[in-house]
Amino acid sequence: MGTIRTAIGWKWDNSYTRLPETLYRMQLPTPVSHPQLALVNNALAEQLGLSIEELEVDGADILSGNKIAEGSEPLAQAYAGHQFGHFTMLGDGRAILLGEHIDPSGRRVDIQLKGSGRTPYSRGGDGRAALGPMLREYIISEALHGLGIPTTRSLAVVETGEEVLRETRLPGAILTRVASSHLRVGTFQYAANWGGADVLQQLVDYAVQRHYPDIKSGEGTALALLQAVIEQQAKLIAKWQLVGFIHGVMNTDNMTISGESIDFGPCAFMNSYDPETVFSSIDTGGRYAYGNQPQIAGWNLARLAEALLPVIHPDSTTALEQAQEAVMEFGKLYERYWLQGMRAKLGLQHEDQGDEQLVIDLLVMMQETKADYTNTFRDLTLGHIEEMSVAKHKDWEAWHSRWEERLHAQDADTKRAYELMRSSNPAIIPRNHIVEEVLEAAVKQGNYEQLEQFVEALQSPYAYTSEQQAYSEPPSEQVECGYQTYCGT
């Protein structure tokens, strides 16, 4: 397979290939029979400095892997991971990193094809992806971006013209994923187990230079990297919890060093508030349920700390003490960011000792009344108290009086409080039943119009427009009961 010149606008600078070869394998995508562009994220393409017109000309071939753009150096990355608590060797089993693109602002991003064929890390898999799961990732990643949550992005989905065999035969597709990088906790676990201290140190230096350039190189670099990742993940998980997002498969290979959300297989958004909510068909024990996500994040970060021990300090006892101290900070950081976000959702502009209890009391009432998480805060923002199921709770009036007193105590004019609430409480989220509706129209009928309209609405979730009303309705109990999501592999 040769390379082609294209006017799409790629500006490649592939720094990952300058790392030790044990961390990757050069690998070309496997060509497909009849690639066709199904979706192109024009806004993201423009941000990346790419030509939308040229994408329409060459995009199907390049973003399917049938042709390799000049300057691209395709590879598959090696990594390991704890999957549901069990450690295993992994790697890009169905993804190819085309290279790193430098956008007009000077930002470096990975351009990866997901579903582009077998690699040395496929472990018996076919290396392909089905259209439905790739469209799901497109929807969810763009929804998270609209919500202001750090995430990988989706540039395009290409239909391959081929079928993939899962439980049944399904139409195949390839997703183009854009990420600050694909460095994961599992990347460091791999380096620690199969690369040795020298490779591990090179990976640390690379991650620092790429994501945390303010960290000074030299002694203490690995510890500083660990602390920076802990901080970013505390912010990220708090943002997930604040909007009711359930990742579904928080394995260590799905936790990034950059602090971006990644890998949207069995993910979904919570409707009725319940910390035990879980949708993933493979999470039968509820390990990754909504209420467990902060604890699991802390557990994953402890695994990162373990991997970094050889380069944190030459004395193993000192290294362990420093790593433990760093990891212990995660819970405090998460609680701080979560409570800050909850204050904003309730319009509280300043801290007060009773704020946490105010929030907890509201959540308890929401759980007991099976109140819709998103719409409770939305209706509170709009003053639609009569529409709130939580208002039927026996303790509601007392709570509501406490909340109003708190609002007026900080400012007699509550206008700013409600402005804060409006910017913190989304009017819409990607409701599971609507996601399924637009996916069915796209996959079974080839109708992408509904999906594109839905994604467009999700780009402005705090707009509170009348057009968004149709997307804000929660599902009926009958529709939601037993709802499951699947990994997609």
Active-site positions read 253
Residue the block writes with tokens 């105590």? 409
Measured CA angle at 228 (ends 223, 231), to 5 deg:
130
Per-residue burial over 291-303, b if 16 or more Cβ lie within 10 Å, else e, is ebbbebbbbbbbb
Residue 200, C-beta contacts closer than 8 angstroms, at least 6 positions apart: 188, 191, 192, 307, 308, 310, 311
Q: How far apart are CA 444 and CA 234, in angstroms?
A: 39
Residue 275's φ and ψ, nearest 5 degrees, are -60, -20
Task: Work out the angle between the directed axes of helices 221-243 and 197-211 (0-180°, nearest 10).
Answer: 60
The CA-based dihedral angle spanning residues 41, 46, 233, 297, taken in that order and rounded to the nearest 10 degrees: 20
Q: Do 448 and 39 touch, CB atoms closer than 8 A? A: yes
Q: Do 38 and 99 touch, CB atoms closer than 8 A? A: no
What helix, strand, coil percent values describe the chain, rounded to 5? 50, 15, 35
Q: Do 488 and 439 touch, CB atoms closer than 8 A? A: no
Cα 232 to chain centroid distance, Å, stands at 13
